[in-house]
Amino acid sequence: MEKCSWIDEKNPLYVKYHDKEWGLPLHDDTKLFELLILEGAQAGLSWSTILNKRENYRKAFDSFNYEKIALYDSKKINSLLQDAGIVRNKLKINSTIQNAKAFIKIRKEFTSFDKYIWSFVNNKPIKNNFKSLKDIPAKTPLSDKISIDLKKRGMNFVGSTIIYAYMQATGLVNDHQINCFRYEEV
């Protein structure tokens, strides 16, 4: 079974992520929040690093319960900074809290984050036709637009490149390579 060429076949978590999750249209607000935070945490690091720490992130950040995260105080931040199971970057940890607060505001305005984020693609995934990894862009005019809007709403670690990776992960765009078994399934 052929897969996208970017997969780290030596990492079973990476293979499972590609085969069972990446690029599937996602509509659950908690999972949408989780991937938004993980994509931001990945900035400057490899996705394998984040996948290997994903379960630790779930434990450290209350299963990505944005309502709880929005209330984190300095004591909780200090404990997160000591947690070797996650990326111990103060800016990224503070960003998670700030983004939880902004996420809640977006949910209130649109009734769900799902409705907000999927409105950018008219509620239908964009299906691309990329043959190789070099064809896949790092960002697009649409990821620029979403990034700008999220920043206006108070989020950070949501630059255009991070947002394009998020769009791919959550199925807003189908960037499985055309020879990948998942390409036609999504």
Tell me whether residue 55 is one of the annotated catalytic residues: no
Beta bridge partners of 126: 173
Four-residue CA torsion sign, 61, 51, 41, 166: negative
* CA–CA gap between residue 69 and residue 65 (Å, rounded): 6
DSSP string, 140-175: -HHHHHHHHHHHHTT--S--HHHHHHHHHHTTSEE-
Question: Could you give the angle at which helices 160-169 and 141-152 cross, rounded to 10 degrees?
Answer: 110
The span from the CA of 159 to the CA of 106, in Å, is 18
Active-site residue (options: 17, 57, 116, 164): 17
Catalytic residue among 39, 66, 72, 116: 39
166 flagged as catalytic? no
6 is catalytic: no
Catalytic residue among 47, 57, 118, 166: 47
Active site residues: 17, 39, 47
